[in-house]
Amino acid sequence: MNDFEKSSQNLLSQFYDELITVDRKGVLTAQTYETSIRFLLVWCKKQNKKISSLTVQDLLYYLVERKTQGLDSLTMAKDISALRSFGTFLTQQGIWKENIALLLERPKSNRRIPSVLTVEQVDFLLSSIDISTPLGLRDRALFELVYSCGLRISEVSDLLLQNVHLSERLLWVHGKGDKERVVPFGDDAFFWLKKWLDEGRPQLVGHKMVATLFVNYAGKPISRKGIWKRFKELEAQTGIDAKVHTLRHSFATHLLAGGADLRSVQELLGHSDLATTQIYTHVDDEQLRDYHRDFFPK
C-alpha cells in the first residue's frame, strides 16, 4: 500500500467513525457515504489533485464523470449528501476552510413507486415455505414477521430475543439512525414465531447462548445476506417477482388501503419524514387506476 492509499484509508476511517459516533448515522448510511467518498478519492488520485485544494468546480467535474457512468438521480443525490457530510468533516479537521460542498445542489429525484404484492400473493409466497424442518420454521416466522411489522432486512436480522414480547405481541425494533420503535405483530406472525421458538430454534441453537432471534443452520446469528439468499430461493420457487423489502412495502400499502392513517404508518415503519411514507399513497393511486381500467373499461 503506497502513501496515498494509506492516507486515503486513514481519512476514510476517521470520516466513518465521525458519521457513526458524532453524527449518529446508521451503519448502512455510513457505509454508503464511505463508498461515495472512496470514489472521490480515487478520482482525485487519477486527476492528481489533493483533497485540501479541491474547488467547487472540481467537485462538479467529479459529479459529471459519475453521471456519465450511468448513475440515476437518486444515487447522485446520495453522492452529494455524502460530499456535504465529508465537507463538514474536512472543515472540522482544518483541511478545508469552509464546506464548499454545501454549494452543490441535489438533483430532484423522481422517486420510483415501490412494487407491492397483493394479500393473496403474500399468502401464496409464505405458505409455499416447507415447514417440516427447523430452517423452514425459521423462514416462515421470519418472513411473517417482516410482513406483519414492516421490518427492514437489517432490523429482522439484528432483532434480539430479549426484544420480542410474545404475550404483548410487541417487538422492540432498533432501526435506522439508532432510532428505536415498538411495533405490534398479528396472529399469523404470533403463531409461527411461537412455533419457531418452541420447536425450531432449540434444535439449531442447542445449549449455545445466542442473543438474536433468528439463527442460521449452525445456530449462529443469521446475516442479511443469508435472509436475502433464502428469499431469492422462494422467489424462484413461487415465480413471484419480489424482494424482502417488497414485504415491507406491501405491509404499508395494505395498512393504508385498510384505512390506517399516514402518521400511524409512519411510526410503524420508523420513517423520520412523513414525505417518505407518502410514497405509499401513490401506490394506492396506481391500484385505483388498475381497478378503474379493469372494471370500468370505457
Task: Please say whether the beta carbons of 224 and 157 come within 8 A.
Answer: yes
d(CA 59, CA 142): 44
Catalytic residue, from 152, 201, 230, 249: name it.
152
Task: Please say whether the beta carbons of 164 and 182 come within 8 A.
Answer: no
Specify whether 165 is catalytic: no
d(CA 271, CA 118): 23
Catalytic residue, from 38, 181, 220, 245: name it.
245
In angstroms, how far apart are the furthest CA atoms of the chain? 70
Specify whether 46 is catalytic: no
Task: Please say whether the beta carbons of 179 and 114 come within 8 A.
Answer: no
Task: Please say whether the beta carbons of 233 and 129 come within 8 A.
Answer: no
Catalytic residue, from 33, 62, 147, 280: name it.
280
Among 6, 178, 22, smallest CA distance to 89 is for 22
Strand ranges across the sheet with 164-165 = 164-165, 170-174, 180-184
Specify whether 248 is catalytic: yes
State how far Cα 165 lies from the chain centre: 24
- What residues pair up with 182 in beta bridges, in sequence order? 172
Catalytic residue, from 138, 201, 248, 249: name it.
248
Q: What is the sign, positive or negative, of the torsion defined by CA atoms of 220, 221, 225, 230?
A: positive
Catalytic residue, from 25, 84, 201, 271: name it.
271
Specify whether 271 is catalytic: yes
Across 150-178, b (16+ Cβ under 10 Å) vs e yields: bbbbbbbbbbeeebbeeeebebebbbbee
Residue 240 dihedral angles phi and psi, to the nearest 5°: -90, 125
Catalytic residue, from 176, 220, 224, 243: name it.
176
Residue 288: CB partners within 8 Å, gap ≥ 6?
none
Specify whether 176 is catalytic: yes
- Active-site residue numbers? 152, 176, 245, 248, 271, 280
